[in-house]
């Protein structure tokens, strides 16, 4: 893809992120930070100004139609739609505004109903399985526990920390491995797997969490669902890791180092934060949650370097079926 096509694809993904009409200040700030990071992590060298593109989307200087017009081949149009669907499905379910946006986008990209349905299938299956595993539909009310930072007494629980730490490490290795795969569903699977991990940690400490709580937990520490997906997908796009651009797994390993480190570290820090939060009776304030996550993230990035061989080996054995089994809890 040339620079104009990359910008158009990322513009469409950003528009999808804002399509739901519900982005709060935290999510907008996260999206702006991501734009700045992507500019610095390969985007500037490629001629991309993601911060400028973010402003163009916010102020409607770029439209669905103008972005789609820059995508003049079938592969780039399909990729743009895949990224838009991934953003829309990051929180588990599309609302009416997101569905309307995707319908408009399908028309602008001149995709057939059959093509659009095929593109959406993996995203719906993967995200839907994760939210079902997390105990409730994605738009469910907060039923069982207060939002992060509001405290509460911890239920009685007999937790094997060795096993819990092992499961967090396994989830981190898996998500690092997903960054090395060229398929679009690989990026779509990372957030559902993180959701499943947090759910299982909460359950280990006696909390029956619904998906609304987990979404709030992630957003509170600055890892919102749509913004995190956009960052992962943006890195893969700039690094040429989608589809045929990757040159297979070998190309993915060579070009996916940044994304691999990001997903490993984010997953590991989230897991360890969840252990402290739920193990401590949800007594952390919002500020303490954010600071603790930041404190955990730096050593997790350094730790990732020790597990590169395991991450690469895991990537070689992954397919969509095995990942679906992991989301559902049928495999480790």
d(CA 188, CA 204): 26
d(CA 127, CA 321): 14
Q: How far is CA 262 from CA 2, 24, 195, 236, 266, in A?
A: 25, 24, 16, 12, 6
Do 260 and 300 meet the contact criterion of CB atoms below 8 Å apart? no
d(CA 289, CA 150): 11
Token pair for 150: 């509001």
Do 225 and 142 meet the contact criterion of CB atoms below 8 Å apart? no
> How many other β-carbons are positioned within 10 Å of the β-carbon of residue 328?
13
Per run of 10 residues, the mean pLDDT along the chain (length 332 residues) is 83 86 65 68 62 86 94 88 82 80 94 85 68 49 45 66 94 91 77 85 85 78 73 74 50 60 91 93 88 92 92 87 72 52
Please enumerate in sequence order all residues whose Cβ is within 8 A of that of 103, keeping only pairs 6 or more positions apart, or say none.
none
Query: 3-state SS of the chain?
Result: CCHHHHHHHHHHHHHHHHCCCCCCHHHHHHHHHHHHHHHHHHHCCCCCCHHHHHHHHHCCCCCHHHHHHCCCCHHHHHHHHHHHHHHHCCCCCCCHHHHHHHHHHHHHHCCCHHHHHHHHHHHHHHHHHHHHHCCCCCCCCCCCCCCCCCCCCCCCCCCCHHHHHHHHHHHHHHHHHHCCCCCHHHHHHHHHHHHHHHHHHHHHCCCCCCHHHHHHHHHHCCCCHHHHHHHHHHHHHHCCCCHHHHCHHHHHHHHCHHHHHHHHHHHHHHHHHHHHHHHCCCCCCHHHHHHHHHHHHHHHHHHHHHHHHHHHHHHHCCCHHHHHHHHHCCCC
Q: What angle do CA 182, 184, 188 make, to 5 degrees?
A: 125
Token pair for 116: 């659009």
Please enumerate in sequence order all residues whose Cβ is within 8 A of that of 41, keeping only pairs 6 or more positions apart, or say none.
235, 238, 258
d(CA 312, CA 324): 19
Do 193 and 175 meet the contact criterion of CB atoms below 8 Å apart? yes
Give the pLDDT confidence score for residue 137 in this predicted structure.
43
Give the pLDDT confidence score for residue 314 in this predicted structure.
92
Do 159 and 205 meet the contact criterion of CB atoms below 8 Å apart? yes
Give the pLDDT confidence score for residue 272 in this predicted structure.
96
Give the pLDDT confidence score for residue 247 in this predicted structure.
44
Predicted TM-score (pTM) of the model is 0.75
Longest dimension (CA), the chain: 59
Report the C-alpha dihedral over residues 315, 321, 327, 331, rounded to 10 degrees: -80
Give the pLDDT confidence score for residue 50 in this predicted structure.
75
Could you identify the residue written with the tokens 């401590």?
Answer: 280
């Amino acid at each position: 893809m040339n620079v104009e096509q990359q910008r158009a694809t990322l513009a469409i993904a950003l528009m999808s992120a804002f399509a739901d009409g519900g982005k709060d200040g935290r999510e907008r700030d996260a999206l702006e930070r991501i734009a700045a990071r992507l500019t610095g992590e390969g985007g500037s060298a490629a001629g991309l100004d993601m911060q400028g593109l973010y402003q163009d989307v916010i102020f409607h200087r770029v439209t669905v139609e103008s972005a789609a017009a820059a995508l003049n081949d079938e592969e780039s149009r399909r990729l743009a739609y895949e990224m838009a669907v991934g953003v829309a499905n990051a929180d588990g379910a599309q609302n009416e505004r997101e569905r309307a946006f995707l319908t408009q986008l399908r028309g602008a990209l001149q995709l057939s109903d059959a093509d659009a349905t095929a593109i959406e299938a993996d995203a719906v299956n993967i995200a839907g399985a994760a939210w079902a595993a997390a105990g409730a539909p994605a738009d469910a009310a907060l039923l069982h526990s207060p939002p992060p930072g509001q405290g509460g007494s911890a239920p009685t629980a007999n937790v094997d920390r060795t096993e819990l730490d092992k499961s967090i490490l396994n989830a981190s290795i898996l998500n690092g491995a997903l960054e090395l795969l060229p398929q679009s569903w690989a990026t779509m699977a990372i957030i559902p797997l993180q959701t499943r991990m947090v759910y299982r940690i909460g359950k280990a400490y006696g909390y029956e969490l619904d998906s609304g709580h987990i979404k709030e937990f992630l957003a509170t520490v600055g890892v919102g669902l749509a913004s995190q997906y956009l960052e992962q997908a943006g890195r893969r796009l700039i690094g040429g890791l989608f589809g045929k651009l990757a040159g297979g797994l070998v190309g993915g390993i060579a070009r996916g180092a940044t994304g691999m480190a990001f997903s490993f570290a984010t997953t590991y820090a989230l897991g360890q934060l969840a252990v402290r939060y739920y193990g401590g009776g949800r007594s952390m304030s919002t500020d303490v949650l954010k600071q603790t996550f930041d404190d955990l993230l730096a050593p997790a990035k350094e730790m990732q370097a020790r597990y590169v061989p395991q991450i690469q080996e895991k990537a070689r054995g992954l397919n969509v079926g095995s990942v679906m089994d992991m989301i559902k809890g049928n495999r480790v």
